[in-house]
Amino acid sequence: MPILQSLQSLQSLQSLQSLQSLQSLQSLQSLGAARASPAGQIMAKDGISGIWQDVTAPQPRDFGAPSNFRAWGGQSQQMILANEILSRITYGADLDSQTCTIYALEIIDPSDTSPSVAINALAHFSAPSPDDFVLQARLVHDYADLRIDRVAEITDQTAGVIGYFAPLLPLQPGQMPRTMALIQLAMDCAGHVAQHVKHALACRRPDAVSAQIQPIIPTPSHASLPSGHATEAFAVAETLRQLIPESRKTAGVDSQLIQMAARIAANRTVAGVHFPVDSFAGAMLGFCIADVLAARSGQATGIAPVRFNGAGAGNIDFFTSQVWHDGTRQTVVTDDGATLVESLPGTVTTDMSALLRHVWTEAAAEWDQ
């Protein structure tokens, strides 16, 4: 039976590689059809353009208009959108408490030549203790029993997570470019912010705790907590959950989106590259990024600040219901009474982006078709 399972895993990998090769060929063919060679283009131009003729200047575009966005290429669009989020996030670190804090910025009267800036704490992160990570490593070791069942998912998800959400809705990428832009934005910004928190907390990976972990994929060359995949998956799931209309939320799609995010997070523990506690931190941060995106898009007036405190995490395991249940985000408390994840009093605000509101409105309209 192990030989058969290994063969099936190999066949899955070969099928994935074949699909990637086909997609690469199709992309190359599309490029060739859309663009002539430089030599051919020179000859064609010489044959038809003739002598220079007077021209009329094209109509200038309106300064700063969100509608200009559709004129730019995909990579430029994503860079512009990412700046609309990342420009409203900054970071701090307290050496005494060893806490990394994410701050949300609010530009007061951005049209003024000298606007003011409000800075409010959005999320606090403190790492588990070394003893907590030792207890967590035992859980990682035991998760290896699921590797044969999850290897195809784990392999897919090393390249990205969006493809695992699309069938739930269903999401048609070719027909929903603005929705795709928003969830790609959520994933990109989640990754950027997670990397900063990882750098500040500098937590070691499971295979640094025990040689028995033996990850089945290469261990990433950055710190462990929070899990980047968990952060990205929960940011995508929550953005979709807030974007799609109630009329399209059939068969418990809300729950399935969050469950898929949690499964993607757990797969990283199965693979041997993350502790379960990393997923708690990632889920909390992913929700935060989705909230900032919604607030900047004019879909929310305030964001609940949150705290992750890993001290006392012990051997707590990660399950969907611990972070989200009956449509509500949960306070996470260990069996020993340590509060791992909690919402804090008050709300945090940030200013609205006209461009993000424009893109969100167009994305929402794609679900009415």
Burial of 256 (0-12, 13-18, 19+ CB in 10 A): middle
Strand pairing category for 332-333 and 328-329: unpaired
CB 84 within 8 A of CB 296: yes
Least confident of 16-20, 131-135, 232-236: 16-20
Cα 246 to Cα 175, 299, 303, 312, 364, distances in angstroms: 20, 15, 21, 39, 11
Least confident of 69-78, 95-104, 277-286: 69-78
Q: What is the pLDDT confidence band of residue 33, given thresholds at 50, 70 and 90? A: low
Mean of the per-residue pLDDT values of the chain: 90
pLDDT, one tens digit per residue, over 250-291 is 778 999 999 999 999 999 999 999 999 999 999 999 999 999
Domain layout of the chain by residue ranges = 2-55, 77-366
User: Of residues 74 and 147, which shows the higher confidence score?
Assistant: 147
Task: Give the mean model confidence (pLDDT) for residues 97-115.
Answer: 89
Residues 159-181 as b/e (b if ≥16 CB within 10 A, e otherwise) read eebbebbeebbebeeeebbbbbb
Per-residue confidence (pLDDT) for residue 26, from 0 to 100: 52
Per-residue confidence (pLDDT) for residue 139, from 0 to 100: 98
Per-residue confidence (pLDDT) for residue 13, from 0 to 100: 43
| Helix-strand-coil split of the chain, %, nearest 5 | 55, 10, 35
Preceding amide of 226 cis, omega within 30: yes
Preceding amide of 170 cis, omega within 30: yes
Class of domain 77-366: mainly alpha
Strand partners, 92: 101
Residues 43-62 as b/e (b if ≥16 CB within 10 A, e otherwise) read eeeeeeeeeeeeeeeeeeee
User: Of residues 206 and 16, which shows the higher confidence score?
Assistant: 206
Look up residue 14 and give its amino acid.
Q
Tell me how far apart the alpha carbons of residues 352 and 300 are, in angstroms, rounded to a whole number: 9
